[in-house]
Chains A and B, each alone.
Chain A
Amino acid sequence: GENVEQHPSTLSVQEGDSAVIKCTYSDSASNYFPWYKQELGKGPQLIIDIRSNVGEKKDQRIAVTLNKTAKHFSLHITETQPEDSAVYFCAASKNNQGGKLIFGQGTELSVKP
């Protein structure tokens, strides 16, 4: 089955700096890669996603890149703010399994003011 590896497990940056989180996946058939932000005691909230027919996607301070050949994708957050502090999860899915998501291990991001 699919296996998603996420690094780093923790990341601390100064406010205004950039943060990068990386994920690799094992199943070349995976074609959908969302990123979720989870705050303490809450469910994950989708922040950005990318499909396999696209190499990069950007939404204001957040961007995601995908390298299908290497089977890895990354989340980039620029101009970080304290409210960006949370746990971020990458995930992968493919069409033929009903779209179920397999998650990475998570990255705890801390943005220091």
Chain B
Amino acid sequence: GAVVSQHPSRVICKSGTSVKIECRSLDFQATTMFWYRQFPKQSLMLMATSNEGSKATYEQGVEKDKFLINHASLTLSTLTVTSAHPEDSSFYICSARADRALNNSPLHFGNGTRLTVT
């Protein structure tokens, strides 16, 4: 089945530093990937839609200069949290759907990245 790999699974960084999270589709090509953020005991909130070869589309209230998204290939999207602060500590999850699939077909999720900013 379709697999989405996310790395790292956990990261601890100091306030003011930047952290990069990778999301890979392992056995399919994905022109579009989605980045979600989840706080403890809360739902998944869509942050942005990552588009291969073009700029990401950010949801309202998400700072594009703080959460940099790069989708350089059909199997890799990266999310960089710049100048991280403790309030950025959260669970970040990426997802993707195979290009050959319809929009109303399953979206596969990575196992998330637990970011802790100290």
Chain A interface residues (CB < 8 Å from chain B): 31-32, 34, 36, 41-46, 49, 51-52, 89, 93-95, 98-106, 108
Contact = CB atoms under 8 A, between A and B. Distances in A.
A99 B108 CA distance: 12
B43 A101 contact: no
B34 A100 contact: yes
Nearest to B93: A43
Interface string B59-73: 000000000000000
A103 B111 contact: no
Nearest to A46: B106
Question: Which interface residue of B6, B41, B107, B111 has the most chain A CB atoms within 10 A?
Answer: B107
B93 A105 contact: no
A103 B47 CA distance: 12
Interface of B: 4, 6, 32, 34, 41-46, 49, 93, 95, 97, 102-112, 114
18 contacts: A31-B104, A32-B103, A32-B104, A34-B107, A41-B114, A43-B111, A44-B109, A46-B108, A51-B104, A89-B44, A94-B104, A98-B32, A98-B49, A98-B103, A99-B102, A99-B103, A100-B46, A106-B43
Contacts, number: 67
A105 B105 CA distance: 21
B4 to A, nearest CB: 8
Given A99-B105, A101-B95, 13 more contacts: A34-B106, A36-B109, A42-B112, A43-B4, A43-B6, A46-B106, A51-B104, A98-B103, A99-B107, A102-B46, A105-B42, A106-B41, A106-B43
B43 A100 contact: no
B104 A95 contact: yes
Contacts of A105: 42-43
A44 B43 CA distance: 11
Contact of B97 (A44, A99, A104): A99
Contacts of B104: 31-32, 51-52, 93-95, 99
Nearest to A99: B103
